[in-house]
Amino acid sequence: MLSWPIVSDVRRAGSTGGLPFLPPVDPADAAPDIGAAVSPEAFAGFLADGDEEVARWALSRQLATRPRAVVYDTFVREAMRLVGERWVAGRWTISEEHLASRTLARVLAGLAPEASPADRLAPVAILAGVTGEEHSIGLMVLAHVLTGAGFAVHDLGPDVPAEDLVRFAAKARARLVALTATTAAREEAVRDTVAALRALPIPPAIIVGGRIAEVADLEDLDVEWSGVSLVECGRFSRGLAERLDEAV
Residue 12: per-residue pLDDT: 39
104 and 122 housed in the same domain = no
Instruction: Among 110, 139, 170, identify where a domain stops.
Output: 110
238 and 126 housed in the same domain = yes
Instruction: Among 89, 110, 131, identify where a domain stops.
Output: 110
158 vs 180: CA distance, rounded Å: 8
Residue 27: per-residue pLDDT: 57
Please report, for the domain that includes residue 189, its CATH number.
3.40.50.280
Instruction: Among 53, 88, 110, identify where a domain stops.
Output: 110
8 A C-beta contact, residue 72 and residue 145: yes
103 and 201 housed in the same domain = no
128 and 219 housed in the same domain = yes
Residue 25: per-residue pLDDT: 58
193 vs 179: CA distance, rounded Å: 9
Q: How many domains does the chain have?
A: 2
The pTM of the full predicted model, rounded to 2 decimals, is 0.82
Distances (CA, A) of 119 to 13, 126, 151, 165, 223: 48, 14, 7, 22, 25
143 and 233 housed in the same domain = yes
Residue 104: per-residue pLDDT: 98
8 and 106 housed in the same domain = yes
Residue 114: per-residue pLDDT: 86
75 and 188 housed in the same domain = no
103 and 219 housed in the same domain = no
Residue numbers in the chain where pLDDT is lower than 50: 1-20
153 and 129 housed in the same domain = yes
106 and 128 housed in the same domain = no
19 and 123 housed in the same domain = no
* Domain carrying residue 83: 4-110
Distances (CA, A) of 149 to 30, 108, 174, 226, 228: 31, 17, 15, 17, 17
126 and 89 housed in the same domain = no
